[in-house]
Amino acid sequence: MGTNVLKTETPTSIDDAVYFLKENLNVGDHRPSISFGFGDPSCFECFRTTPIAEDAIVEAVRSAKFNSYAPTGGILPARRAVADYLSRDLPYRLSPDDVYLTLGCNQAAEITIEVLARPGAKYSASKTWLSRY
């Protein structure tokens, strides 16, 4: 591991890609690195959620206003907050109706493809697999 000769064989799987990266590490570089091997960086303290977000979650749970599945596209207060936040740097205002919230990156990608794909187009989507869960 850590040779000065870059191995150029193209990785064909995630395992191959991880192995490729490990084989090409510069052992002389002592900067710390973050392992994304779990697929979820939340186990690293530097990715901890802010106390503001924690307090907002506790308040939402205690209010009993959000103890059900959210409607498709997200709840109005969340869409309004996102619209307000994104409008700060725009010459116009976004409305909550301009915002569509998803459950994660996979759902966002799937919905984006469904919206932008032309009629009759074929596409494929992968299923996420996180080893931590």
The SS3 call for residue 73 is strand
The dihedral sign for the CA sequence 81, 85, 86, 91: positive
Model confidence at 35: pLDDT above 70: no
Whether residue 111 is contained in a domain is answered as yes
Residue 99's pLDDT band (boundaries 50, 70, 90)? very high
The total number of structural domains in the chain stands at 2
Whether residue 11 is contained in a domain is answered as yes
Q: 41 with 47: CB under 8 angstroms? A: yes
Determine which of 26-35, 68-77, 87-96 has the lowest per-residue pLDDT on average.
26-35
Full-model pTM: 0.51
The dihedral sign for the CA sequence 108, 110, 113, 116: negative
Whether residue 64 is contained in a domain is answered as no
Whether residue 127 is contained in a domain is answered as no
Q: 76 with 95: CB under 8 angstroms? A: no
Output 64 or 129, whichever has higher pLDDT.
Answer: 64
Q: Give the span between the Cα atoms of 116 and 70, in whole angstroms.
A: 24
Beta strands in the chain (DSSP E): none
Token code pair at residue 112? 């984006």
Structural domain span for residue 39: 1-48
Q: Which residue has the tokens 């959210």?
A: 70
Residue 8's pLDDT band (boundaries 50, 70, 90)? low
User: In the prediction, which pLDDT does 68 show?
Assistant: 84
Residue 42's pLDDT band (boundaries 50, 70, 90)? low
Whether residue 61 is contained in a domain is answered as no
Q: Which residues, 6 or more positions from 67, have their beta carbon under 8 angstroms from its beta carbon?
A: 61
Quick: pLDDT tens for 100-122: 998 877 788 778 877 777 777 76
Token code pair at residue 78? 């969340």
* Mean pLDDT computed over every residue of the chain: 78
The SS3 call for residue 123 is coil
